[in-house]
């Protein structure tokens, strides 16, 4: 974060927006986007980013991605609606995910978007839709599943050595108005060691589809699962030092660059567009969660502070997030091995364990790296969610990009009588 946070600035925001809120830095988001894009373009020029909405679908961010020329990577009808409400053109929408309704698939295909097929049943539904619209050409992708050495059996997409994969290729080869736009994969493990395996795996599928079925996809999509920038305290907690955007670009795109920009390319063969689907890598370090200490107690010798926010706001399970404490003006003492708990009635709701340092009632906690799986994961449990304030234009020029939720926001779907 460029601008220095001070107690004074936090006091001003708290008076206006309450005791807990998110600070979003949209300028940092833009700069991450630019930097990640250049890192991959340096290795593989025909490249673009498809932003993973589910990681943080704040419309402000989705619009920035669109404005910067990126794609919207959505995994539900709801997320497709977010993209459309942000003004994203259907051609810039990529729909992934294991369950999709046939009506919405049809809607997106008719509008020109790309649907990544996840199962044979879905391929058959799409074939039926295609048969009903012989005058239209539909853009589809296939989610590919192979071993990248991460010791996880992914449940998504087609086992590319399996029978169903052959069947989906036959459907694509035999249905004139279904165009294989993209071969896609995504693996959740973020270590860079698994990235060369993604490239090798998808390249093998590309060659197979081309030789055996005569289909040439326009795009290769390596998915998300990249660690973004983080302070040293967090990488120590993780036990892993992320290699940075360049590291992922080298690991993920080098073999593809050799194949398509090197000597192996046949004359007239198109260079496929390379996509990745980052969420966390772009947004992780762009949000901070600010909360305050409500009370401090001692239980059988253990010091416990309770905050006005919850672990559910930061969604960092089992890890101590990067934390800064600001004097809130109350009486402060020095503590050792203190646990900082959240407002919910869940025993395990701790934001931070083993805190050692000064703390007092009213102090502000500023928790960094809260951009991914936070606002989108916070359940309406016990309390509505807090506002999101964009400080990308400076802390004295905040823009409210999500207002504080209220009772009506959550209870309009329940009947009281
Ligand atoms: C979740 C997901 C992503 C983004 O994952 P991050 O860990 O946020 O990078 C990208 N693509 C697909 C298909 C996903 O399910």
The stretch 131-145 carries a mean pLDDT of 98
DSSP 412: T
Position 383 scores a pLDDT of 94
Phi, psi of 297 (to 5 degrees): -140, 165
- CA–centroid distance, residue 328 to ligand 1 (Å): 38
Are residues 232 and 185 part of one domain? Answer: yes
154 vs 147: CA distance, rounded Å: 9
Kindly tell me if the per-residue pLDDT of 372 is higher than 80. Answer: yes
Query: Could you say which of 232, 259, 281 is where a domain stops?
Result: 281
Are residues 194 and 303 part of one domain? Answer: no
Query: The domain spanning residue 323 has which CATH number?
Result: 2.40.37.10
Q: Which of 29, 51, 73 to mutate to test the pocket of ligand 1 (most atoms within 8 A of CB)?
A: 73
Are residues 144 and 245 part of one domain? Answer: yes
Query: Could you say which of 254, 281, 308 is where a domain stops?
Result: 281
Are residues 375 and 303 part of one domain? Answer: yes
Position 127 scores a pLDDT of 98
Query: The domain spanning residue 168 has which CATH number?
Result: 3.20.20.10
Count how many Cα atoms sit within 13 Å of the Cα of residue 415 in the half-sphere of its side chain. Answer: 1
In a domain, 128, yes or no: yes
Share of the chain above pLDDT 90, in %: 95
**Radius of gyration of the chain measured on its C-alpha atoms:** 24
Q: What is the pLDDT of residues 63-106, one digit of tens each?
A: 999 999 999 999 999 999 999 999 999 999 999 999 999 999 99
In a domain, 414, yes or no: no
Position 335 scores a pLDDT of 98
Contacts of 157 (CB under 8 A, 6+ apart): 118, 119, 142, 143, 144, 145, 184, 185
Q: Enter the tokens of residue 198.
A: 């993604």
Are residues 167 and 45 part of one domain? Answer: yes
Which segments of 44-162 does DSSP mark as H helices, in order? 59-67, 77-85, 102-111, 120-132
Pick from 248-257, 316-325, 344-353: least confident: 316-325
**Cβ-based burial of 57 (10 A; exposed 0-12, middle 13-18, buried ≥19):** buried
**Cβ-based burial of 389 (10 A; exposed 0-12, middle 13-18, buried ≥19):** buried
Are residues 256 and 108 part of one domain? Answer: yes
In a domain, 74, yes or no: yes
- Provide the domain limits for residue 88: 27-281
Is residue 357 left, alpha or beta, with left meaning phi > 0 and alpha meaning psi from -120 to 50?
left
Are residues 290 and 276 part of one domain? Answer: no
Position 2 scores a pLDDT of 67
Q: Please identify which residue in the block is written with the tokens 């999500």.
A: 402
Q: Which of 54, 56, 184 to mutate to test the pocket of ligand 1 (most atoms within 8 A of CB)?
A: 54
Cα 149 to Cα 153, 197, 202: the distances in Å are 10, 7, 14
Number of domains in the chain: 2
H or E element that contains 6: none
In a domain, 31, yes or no: yes
Query: Could you say which of 229, 259, 281 is where a domain stops?
Result: 281
Q: Which of 76, 225, 229 to mutate to test the pocket of ligand 1 (most atoms within 8 A of CB)?
A: 225
Q: What is the pLDDT of residues 255-300, one digit of tens each?
A: 999 999 997 777 778 999 999 999 999 999 999 999 999 999 999 9
Are residues 306 and 275 part of one domain? Answer: no
- CA–centroid distance, residue 349 to ligand 1 (Å): 26
Position 315 scores a pLDDT of 87
The stretch 371-385 carries a mean pLDDT of 95
* Helices and strands in the chain, H and E counts: 13, 18
Q: What is the pLDDT of residues 148-177, one digit of tens each?
A: 999 999 999 999 999 999 999 999 999 999
Q: Kind of pairing, strands 302-307 and 114-117?
A: unpaired
In a domain, 409, yes or no: no
Are residues 328 and 252 part of one domain? Answer: no
Are residues 355 and 299 in contact, defined by beta-carbon separation less than 8 angstroms?
no
The stretch 396-412 carries a mean pLDDT of 96
263 vs 259: CA distance, rounded Å: 7
Are residues 180 and 106 part of one domain? Answer: yes
The stretch 345-350 carries a mean pLDDT of 96
In a domain, 147, yes or no: yes
Are residues 297 and 261 part of one domain? Answer: no
Q: Which of 297, 284, 292 is nearest to 238 (CA)?
A: 284
Residue nearest to atom 13 of ligand 1 (CA): 186
Contacts of 378 (CB under 8 A, 6+ apart): 312, 313, 315, 385
Ligand 1: nearest atom to the Cα of 143: 13
Cα 363 to Cα 172, 295, 303, 327, 328: the distances in Å are 60, 10, 16, 5, 4
In a domain, 198, yes or no: yes
Are residues 49 and 13 part of one domain? Answer: no
Mean pLDDT rounded to a whole number for the chain: 96
- CA–centroid distance, residue 248 to ligand 1 (Å): 15
In a domain, 350, yes or no: yes
Phi, psi of 352 (to 5 degrees): -155, 135
End-to-end Cα distance, the chain = 49
Q: What is the pLDDT of residues 178-196, one digit of tens each?
A: 999 999 999 999 999 999 9
Position 25 scores a pLDDT of 98
């Amino acid at each position: 974060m460029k601008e220095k946070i001070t107690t004074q600035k936090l006091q001003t925001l708290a008076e206006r927006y309450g005791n807990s809120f998110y600070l979003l830095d949209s300028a940092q988001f833009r700069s991450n986007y630019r930097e990640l894009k250049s890192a991959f373009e340096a290795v593989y020029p025909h490249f673009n980013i498809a932003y993973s909405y589910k990681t943080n679908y704040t419309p402000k961010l989705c619009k920035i991605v669109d404005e910067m020329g990126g794609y919207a990577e959505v995994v539900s009808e709801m997320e497709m609606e977010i993209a459309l409400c942000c003004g994203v053109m259907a051609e810039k929408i990529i729909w992934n995910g294991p369950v999709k309704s046939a009506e919405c698939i049809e809607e997106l295909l008719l509008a020109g978007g790309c649907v990544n097929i996840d199962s044979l049943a879905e391929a058959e539904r799409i074939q039926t839709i295609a048969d009903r619209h012989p005058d239209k050409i539909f853009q589809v992708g296939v989610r590919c599943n192979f071993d990248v050495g991460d010791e996880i059996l992914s449940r998504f997409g087609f086992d590319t050595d399996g029978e169903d994969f052959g069947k989906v290729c036959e459907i694509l080869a035999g249905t004139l108005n279904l165009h294989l736009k993209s071969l896609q994969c995504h693996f959740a493990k973020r270590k860079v060691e698994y990235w060369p395996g993604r490239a090798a795996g998808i390249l093998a599928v590309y060659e197979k589809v081309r030789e055996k079925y005569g289909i040439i996809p326009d795009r290769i999509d390596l998915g998300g699962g990249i660690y973004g920038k983080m302070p040293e305290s967090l990488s120590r907690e993780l036990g892993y030092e992320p290699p940075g955007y360049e590291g992922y670009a080298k690991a993920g795109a080098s073999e593809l660059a050799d194949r398509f920009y090197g000597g192996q390319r046949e004359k007239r063969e198109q260079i496929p567009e390379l996509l990745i689907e980052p969420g966390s890598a772009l947004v992780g370090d762009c949000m901070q969660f600010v909360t305050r200490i409500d009370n401090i107690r001692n239980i059988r010798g253990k010091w416990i502070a309770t905050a006005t926010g919850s672990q559910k706001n930061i969604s960092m399970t089992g890890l101590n997030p990067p934390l800064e404490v600001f004097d809130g003006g109350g009486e402060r003492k020095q503590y050792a091995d203190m646990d900082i708990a959240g407002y919910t009635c869940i025993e395990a709701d701790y934001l931070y364990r083993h805190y050692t340092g000064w703390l007092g009632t009213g102090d502000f906690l500023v928790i960094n790296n809260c951009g991914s799986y936070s606002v989108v994961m916070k359940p309406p449990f016990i309390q509505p969610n807090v506002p999101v304030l964009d400080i990308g234009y400076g802390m004295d020029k905040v823009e409210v990009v999500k207002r504080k939720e209220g009772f009506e926001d959550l209870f309009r779907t329940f009947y009281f009588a």
